Amino acid sequence: MEQVIKEIICKHLEGGKVIGNSQHGFVKNKSCQTNLIAFFDRITSLVDKGEAVDVIYLDFSKAFDTVSHDILIDKLGKYNLDGATIRWVHNWLDNRTQRVVVNGSQSCWKGITSGVPQGSVLGPVLFNIFINDLDVGIESTLIKFADDTKLGGIATALEDRVKIQNDLDKLEKWSEVNRMKFNKDKCKVLHLGRNNQFHTYRMGRDCLGRSMAERDLGVIVDHKLNMSQQCDTVAKKANVILGCINRCVVNKTREVIL
């Protein structure tokens, strides 16, 4: 039944072009690769023109587990899904309970009022709907892969950096309204470009830390936009795999291998 409901919701989302172009996770014809290409094609072109660019990697605390059921149901209505589908989703999320078991000791059952079940068919689709309006009003470049979000923009002049800060303030406000939290210790700023002023940004009262390199959807991006770290990492993994293969076949005859 989940699969049937998912198909109904996805057909509605695709027909109405509900999910914004910034989302590349769990979206037809999009992937990690399209996410990286779309974002860094824009960012590298700015750096090539001599602009300073700041990229902020944002991290939600337990994103899928903190989706408010009430807010999600409201958003389903906002995006004009039919009443029967909304009621089914509401019933599917409602009356869920959980408990903790440690070394045979059990806690009491507690009702769940937030979170979309991870590993479920519907979970990723519902999360995309919930987070879809994250970039409303954002002036900088923002792109998402499910909850993995990054924000980037020109940071050459003071007014450019003020614009990025204003966007961070809007994102902080969104998280408060939607009852989600950013893990600010893991939110990092990557400063790019020769004339970068290494501006300090904040979210709420917390200043965001600087990073020399970030792992972006499996690809290491450093402050020089140099791929050497990524190439070294891939080469090391390849050598480990080759070593395993070599150990497996070194003592086998040609006939056994074939």
Kindly give, in sequence order, each residue whose CB lies less than 8 Å from that of residue 27, ignoring residues fewer than 6 positions away.
19, 128
β-bridge mates for residue 55, sequence order: 152, 190
| Residue 81 Cα distances to 33, 71, 72, 118, 135, angstroms | 30, 14, 12, 22, 21
Confidence at residue 69, expressed as pLDDT on a 0 to 100 scale: 97
Which pLDDT band holds residue 252 (cuts at 50, 70, 90)? Answer: low
pLDDT > 80? residue 251: no
Confidence at residue 256, expressed as pLDDT on a 0 to 100 scale: 56
Phi–psi pair at 250, nearest 5 degrees: -60, -35
Query: Minimal CA–CA distance to 52: which of 200, 213, 193, 161?
Result: 193
Torsion of CA 218, 222, 228, 230, to 10 degrees: -10
Confidence at residue 14, expressed as pLDDT on a 0 to 100 scale: 94
pLDDT > 60? residue 258: no
Element (H, E) at 21: none
Cα 63 from chain centre:
9
Which pLDDT band holds residue 91 (cuts at 50, 70, 90)? Answer: very high
Strand ranges inside the chain, DSSP E? 53-58, 97-98, 101-102, 105-106, 110-111, 141-145, 148-154, 188-192, 202-203, 206-207, 209-211, 213-216, 219-222
Helix 123-131 crosses helix 2-15 at what angle (to 10 degrees)?
30
Which pLDDT band holds residue 246 (cuts at 50, 70, 90)? Answer: confident
Tens digits of residue pLDDT in 42-87? 999 999 999 999 999 999 999 999 999 999 999 999 999 999 999 9
| Mean pLDDT value across residues 103-131 | 92
pTM of the model: 0.89
Question: How far is Cα 258 from Cα 254, in angstroms, rounded to an integer?
Answer: 6
Higher pLDDT, 100 or 252: 100
Which stretch of 44-53, 139-148, 187-196, 248-257 has the lowest confidence by average pLDDT?
248-257
- Tell me what the pLDDT averaged over the chain comes to: 94
On the CB side of 33, CA atoms within 13 Å amount to 1
Beta carbons within 10 angstroms of residue 240's beta carbon: 10
| Residue 67 Cα distances to 54, 63, 233, angstroms | 29, 7, 35
Which pLDDT band holds residue 254 (cuts at 50, 70, 90)? Answer: low
Q: Which residues of 16-43 are buried (b: 16+ CB within 10 A; e: fewer)?
A: eebbbebbbbbbeebeeeebbebbbeeb
pLDDT > 90? residue 164: yes
Question: How far is Cα 105 from Cα 99, in angstroms, rounded to an integer?
Answer: 10
The fraction of the chain above a pLDDT of 90, given in percent, is 85
Which pLDDT band holds residue 240 (cuts at 50, 70, 90)? Answer: very high
